[in-house]
Amino acid sequence: MTRQETPPARADGATLTVVVPAYNEEHGIPHSLPELFDAVSGAELSGEVIVVDDGSLDATVAACDALMAGRSDARLLRHAQNRGYGAALKTGIQASEADLIAITDADGTYPSDRLAELCAKLLDEGYDMVVGARTGDNVQIPLIRRPVKWVLARLVNVIARTRVPDANSGLRVFRRDVAVRFLPFLPDGFSFTTTITMGMLVNGYRVAFVPIDYYTRVGKSKIAPIRDTLRFIRLIVMVGLYFAPLRVFMPLAGVLFLLAVAWGLFSYLVLGRLADVSTLIVVMASVQVASVGLLAELINRRLHNEVKR
């Protein structure tokens, strides 16, 4: 999945599909969908909107049908049962034949009027993905979620070895041909966006971040803070192991080796007797961790080569 050089694309002839996952968004859809239709028109691309109903139990489908009636640039796809945010995005991406995919939420939190700007930046400057980073002047992120975002940002920065302003923003544009390479490895839950961000960054794809505002959502949030925080952290570690195992295992191996050296010197110089057995155990642990990292890297490269064929 390593990036192949792609020259800057031109807007002439480019096509766009905006994928909108929706689960129990009967209150959000009437606000967000009309704004999105206007945004797609403003992007000056041949585009369509695909709403993927993820097994909603309310009037989401009826709201979509009413707004899409008579439109040739909008489609509604449905899951028989709730499968998750990422699963809904995958369904929309796979149903599209456009050059570019944009994703946004149905709850009115993201500024749809910035969509044209994100598309233009990707096309004019040759990026593979442009992310609307929630770092603008008006960002309404609930206080309970801010510590989670801070921790996630630090973890992502370490693994990606670059500053990532917002790894899991739900407003972004990316090239469809690049995204489909990652689909088998992307999760079905809320962590879809974090995974594709890290996957592209560690594999050398060009990713840009543009500051945007983030508004108070319409309707009730689907995020469970404790459960989803644990899932996000687990996912970041798993993605790090898959996309960049040496960046996870080698620092840990180095810390263990330094700990062994420090303990050996302390026991010899301060305690007057070298703690050879415990020191050797920590050294061996360091070697084993490094070996696992090297093995994971070999497996990782082989899998990526298989995907690129």
Q: What is the pLDDT of residue 193?
A: 92
Q: What is the pLDDT of residue 29?
A: 95
Q: Choose among 75, 68, 25: nearest CA to 50.
A: 75
- Mean pLDDT comparison of 21-25, 185-189, 217-221, 303-307, highest-scoring range: 21-25
User: Quick one: pLDDT band at residue 20, thresholds 50, 70, 90?
Assistant: very high
In a domain, 263, yes or no: yes
Q: Are residues 124 and 144 in the same domain?
A: yes
In a domain, 169, yes or no: yes
Q: What is the pLDDT of residue 168?
A: 87
Q: For residue 94, what are the CA distances in angstroms to 9, 237, 241?
A: 22, 27, 27
In a domain, 3, yes or no: no
- Of the three residues 187, 214, 243, the one that is the final residue of a domain is 243
Percent of the chain residues past pLDDT 70, beyond the cut: 85
Q: Are residues 157 and 260 in the same domain?
A: no
What 186-189 contacts at long range (C-beta under 8 Å, 24+ apart), as own/partner pairs, is 186/86, 186/90, 187/84, 187/86, 187/235, 188/83, 188/84, 188/85, 188/86, 188/87, 188/90, 189/84, 189/85, 189/86, 189/228, 189/231
Q: Are residues 264 and 192 in the same domain?
A: no
Q: Are residues 228 and 271 in the same domain?
A: no
Q: What is the pLDDT of residue 26?
A: 93
Q: Are residues 206 and 194 in the same domain?
A: yes
In a domain, 156, yes or no: yes
User: Quick one: pLDDT band at residue 296, thresholds 50, 70, 90?
Assistant: confident
- Of the three residues 218, 243, 268, the one that is the final residue of a domain is 243
Mean pLDDT to the nearest integer, 252-267: 92
User: Quick one: pLDDT band at residue 304, thresholds 50, 70, 90?
Assistant: low
Mean pLDDT to the nearest integer, 205-212: 96
In a domain, 2, yes or no: no
Mean pLDDT to the nearest integer, 93-122: 95
Question: What sign for the dihedral angle of Cα 212, 213, 219, 225?
Answer: positive
Q: Are residues 264 and 133 in the same domain?
A: no
Q: Are residues 264 and 186 in the same domain?
A: no
User: Quick one: pLDDT band at residue 271, thresholds 50, 70, 90?
Assistant: confident
- Where is average pLDDT lowest: 125-134, 170-179, 197-206? 197-206
What total number of domains does the chain contain? 2
Q: Are residues 156 and 270 in the same domain?
A: no
Domain extent at residue 294: 245-308
In a domain, 213, yes or no: yes
- Where is average pLDDT lowest: 3-17, 30-44, 116-130, 197-211? 3-17
Which CATH number is 89's domain given?
Answer: 3.90.550.10
In a domain, 85, yes or no: yes
- For residue 87, pLDDT beyond 50: yes
Task: Between 128 and 276, name the one with better pLDDT.
Answer: 128
- For residue 177, pLDDT beyond 70: yes
- Of the three residues 207, 224, 243, the one that is the final residue of a domain is 243
Task: Name beta bridge partners: 15.
Answer: 46
In a domain, 9, yes or no: no
Q: Are residues 279 and 204 in the same domain?
A: no
Q: Are residues 253 and 237 in the same domain?
A: no
Q: Are residues 80 and 192 in the same domain?
A: yes
Q: What is the pLDDT of residue 8?
A: 43
Mean pLDDT to the nearest integer, 55-59: 94
Q: Are residues 159 and 277 in the same domain?
A: no
